[in-house]
Chains A and B, each alone.
Chain A
């Protein structure tokens, strides 16, 4: 294990609150171990700021195991930094000594900045509320083994379901499109027998909510999947297109969708 301290120049977006104007601020940082995680590096910077009586940098993080989806950060021009992991799984060994590191919040109209690097991602919650579920009352389920699901289908559904809702897909997409996120949930439930009853309505509503939130359209650049820390595949987006268009053609729903606020 190396224990040489490295130095960095940290250029980070500071913004006091949602209304305030933000700007990039520069902080020099010394004695950083390459085995340290990226967020631990920010912890150290924050402790130094606090010691100087300055307000520490606010950033979202929680599990630090790459699964809760809370951490974000656009690092050196990439969502979650140079690797395809979450930011919390990124380590300083991925950065050269004396490197300048840019840290910005996710940028998208539906993800407004709350403070510094913290953004509001509740748009994702509203999309799930629009239809990302199977209606099943507690207690009303049949025996688990009464629903047979071929292993291949279960595995494919699991791959789609492993989305952590971090928003890297939106952050990486030049159109700030949320199609990968939406398609992951639509795919999971469209593949499984449990999701069939609400299949059409789910695709229609989730896309309508996604559009209402102000995400851009998908132009198939593939940046989302390339950046996804959980390797959600573009195949899901194709499936969503299919699900949505066939639902629109064949469902008997002609009412206009009222978005969730």
Chain B
């Protein structure tokens, strides 16, 4: 299989403009003859569905939650980047492009990242026009804050609820189109399969989560906006329902899965406590604007934070990285936290935590200013930990948060399956091996509002108007297969619950394929995951039927895909004999303990082809990354 990224010719800054001119257009009067399916209604999905409908296409949108407004984009706290340069610090499209590609440790496509930086400004305009209440200065102009991996303040924010406000903006646009009848919304509906007819994606199979009904939906193109797969770790900052099923089922149908081992472990999360925890909570990266990260200078120091004098505090990020200090990129911050704890400097009951201290900021700016900026985060922290961060420093530890890997897509965001698109976190395209803070919202909305509305037209313009009825043999076959598969899962009457298997999988993935990885560990992990796959098949405990709201079946259905994905992540991590961004192989590090890339051998996208699952190894396809505009350097934030 030859991977064609379809990157337009021309200079970097002109590619997107030229491409927009070169794409084929669908006559406005003909757009209503095309149907598009959008799965997922987060930032990317809601923005795309609303924009398609505005253009005139007929849209069927799907989400597993009870409302499109619940998608997990809503939980993004800190902000969204744009190259507006409102702060007069010398920001530009090129600087945002450069910061993003460097932040991604030079493992992303230049052309995609540049396009992202180009449309970033349009996103802010669009959202403001929708009534998103971004933070403002007293004069009425928009305010900015700084985020990790950048030396300019380019992050727009709405309190600590930026994701919520942006999503509600996209949701309102979507709601308008639902009322107009241009979008048919299917809530509490989970995608089970992609249906291919004559080599093109022409529809999906879904399960109604209330009635259990398995249904077929036909369209001219299918867009997956189904988010990331951090829940492979069971404990993550993702929502409980976030899953890889839609993307994985597409993968099983032939869509390549790219860079699955690029996962982001976010540095500032509330540490794990106890053994029954279901979920980890993020504390926004914006906290690192004013909080200082430290551990005691003495190993195993059991004194309370406030009893440790200033001279005995090790502000390790500020000392090691004087230029970026506490605002180093996430992978660097996370790795350092883990390193400190592994060395025995960790704090708290589990010793798996470092301090994030606001004492100095409160002294400098006053409690009121800190409260205004981070009040809701501080409240949330106190609610969960029963400790007051105004009085004692927060305790934080890294947690799985975002996945840079995802379905392989070309410049048009189409997967290698004709007519099947992947946007937002579900694709692999823009963040390389590490995502910078406040860039996920940017990418989701860029894909949804400003990229796919153009590129999908380029494809649809070449397609006939014919609609495929859902009693077509391919649909019937897919329906039958999926029904039979769910029945087979339901028939298992073993002893392990889906959650038990999921928790075990998460533990394996975190230990061996988390913040640091070794070839040896990964090989062992693969065996363990295979054992779990075996357990899932032979020793799964199920109840209920398929004709009802069955939460056990929902979980099992998702866990099955995580089990297969987990193995692929391990294989990908094994294959990548280098360290880059979020992928840190202990064998490959600089003397200072930083990630050591191998650009000669690994400057490629690893896109994996499914070949039948358990026992059959997937096939690796490489898309070489070409860097013509940036010089590949060892990342330095010192």
Contact = CB atoms under 8 A, between A and B. Distances in A.
Do A and B touch each other in the complex, judged by CB within 8 A?
Answer: yes
Interface of A: 1, 3, 16-17, 33, 35-37, 39-40, 43-44, 46-47, 50-51, 53-56, 58, 60-70, 83, 85, 89, 91, 93, 114-115, 118, 120-122, 124-125, 128-130, 132-145, 147-151, 154-155, 157-158, 161-162, 164-165, 188-189, 192, 194-195, 260
B499 interface: yes
27 contacts: A35-B274, A40-B276, A47-B497, A53-B543, A63-B74, A68-B70, A68-B75, A69-B69, A83-B383, A85-B383, A91-B386, A118-B549, A122-B66, A125-B187, A134-B130, A134-B172, A138-B449, A141-B122, A141-B129, A144-B128, A148-B139, A150-B138, A154-B136, A158-B133, A164-B74, A192-B133, A194-B128
Nearest to A32: B276
A54 B126 CA distance: 50
Interface stretch (B160-168, B562-570, B613-621): B160-168
A39 B159 contact: no
B210 interface: yes
Contacts of B241: 62
Nearest to B178: A129
Contacts of B636: none
B130 A194 contact: yes
A142 B129 contact: yes
A158 B273 contact: no
B142 interface: yes
B22 interface: no
B239 interface: yes
Contacts of A142: 125, 129
A158 B372 CA distance: 13
A101 B472 CA distance: 52
Contacts of B75: 63, 65, 67-68
Nearest to A16: B548
A58 B276 contact: no
Nearest to B129: A141
A51 B67 CA distance: 31
Give chain B's interface residue range (CB within 8 Å of chain A).
35 or more
A43 B499 CA distance: 9
A164 to B, nearest CB: 7
Contacts, number: 233
Contacts of A68: 65, 70-72, 74-75, 239
B125 A162 contact: no
A70 B72 contact: no
A133 B172 contact: yes
A51 B541 contact: yes
Contacts of B362: none
B278 A151 contact: no
B133 A157 contact: yes
A53 B552 CA distance: 11
Given A44-B276, A60-B66, A145-B86, A128 B171 contact: yes
Interface of B: 47, 50-51, 54, 65-72, 74-75, 84, 86, 122, 124-142, 158-159, 161, 163-165, 168, 171-173, 175-176, 178-179, 185, 187, 210, 237, 239-241, 273-274, 276-279, 281-282, 349, 380, 383-384, 386, 449-450, 453, 497, 499-500, 541, 543-544, 548-552
Name the 10 nearest CB pairs between A and B, nearest first: A148-B140, A141-B129, A133-B172, A158-B133, A129-B179, A141-B125, A144-B128, A154-B136, A64-B279, A157-B133
A151 to B, nearest CB: 5
B70 A69 contact: yes
B269 to A, nearest CB: 11
A92 to B, nearest CB: 10
Nearest to B445: A138
Contact of A188 (B131, B383, B500): B131
A147 B136 CA distance: 11
A69 B386 CA distance: 22
Given A66-B380, A70-B65, A139-B450, A134 B129 contact: yes
Contacts of A67: 74-75, 161, 163-164
A36 B185 CA distance: 36
Given A141-B129, A148-B140, A58 B551 contact: yes
Contacts of A115: 210, 548-549
A35 B383 CA distance: 10
B278 A165 contact: no
Given A17-B548, A44-B276, A63-B72, A151 B66 contact: no
Contacts of B172: 128, 132-134
A43 B274 CA distance: 14
Contact of B66 (A53, A120, A192): A120
Contacts of A140: 129
